[in-house]
Amino acid sequence: MTRGYVRLWRKSLDAGWIKNHKLWVFWSYCLMKASWKEYDAIVGSQTVPLMPGQFVFGRKVASQETGLTEREIRTIIDFLKKAGNMTIKPTNKFSIITIINWTTYQSEAIENDQLNDQPPTNKGPHTSIKALKNKKTFSSDSTEIRIAELLLEKIISRNPNFKKPNLQSWAIHIDQMIRIDERTIEDIQSVIEWSQEDKFWQNNVLSTGKLREKFDQLYLKMGSNENGVKKEAWEI
């Protein structure tokens, strides 16, 4: 198995994180330490179940591996917690750090790591990648599912008899909008809300697939409408 890689988002540059070298070192360290899949870590004689975006953390070990002091690490963790980029759950012997929105921002890297974990076949890499994407599922509290549910709720509020779709299928389109089309989460949410209030578009955007197809047109239309409101958010 290869060691894989993680994605770095340019919002980190815009936010000035790179200027704070110690913050950048520790944040990069956390991204590389985080698990890309569910697995059971063995810590001493204890089994610790981890979800994607989580890792077992200890300040002393982190200090040795990053060159930062334990005090510096404690200060940086407090900053990242307040910024909404991570949570930390302490136990008697260690802590579990969780990177917020890991699946949303690292999904492409996860797919490639999954591909590297697969035994070689004679079908070629393109077939393997497609098969992996078809197996991809989203947890009920994932950003992709929550955005899909937002659109569904707006539609059902007007038409209670609307046939409930497969939310996993709808979430795939949201995932593609974020990863491939590079839409921001706040823009997707704003376009959904605007389109479902517009008398014309509310009857023409009845799936996330249609939302993705018409996104540019909807976004421009929303921007020209004085009632179009964009939500502000900042995430890494």
pLDDT of residue 92: 81
Instruction: Answer with the residue of higher pLDDT: 127 or 58.
Output: 58
- H helix or E strand, kind and range, residue 42: strand 39-43
On the question of pLDDT at 208 being above 50, the answer is: yes
Asked whether the whole model's pTM tops 0.85, one would answer no
The mean predicted confidence, pLDDT, of the chain is 81
Q: Whose structure tokens read 């599912």? A: 145
Angle between helices 125-135 and 102-117 (to 10 degrees): 140
What is the set of domains in the chain, with CATH numbers? 11-101 (1.10.10.10), 143-224 (no CATH)
DSSP 82-129: HTTSEEEEE-SS-EEEEETTHHHHHHHHHHHHHHHHSPP-TT-HHHHH
Q: How far apart are the first and last CA of the chain?
A: 27
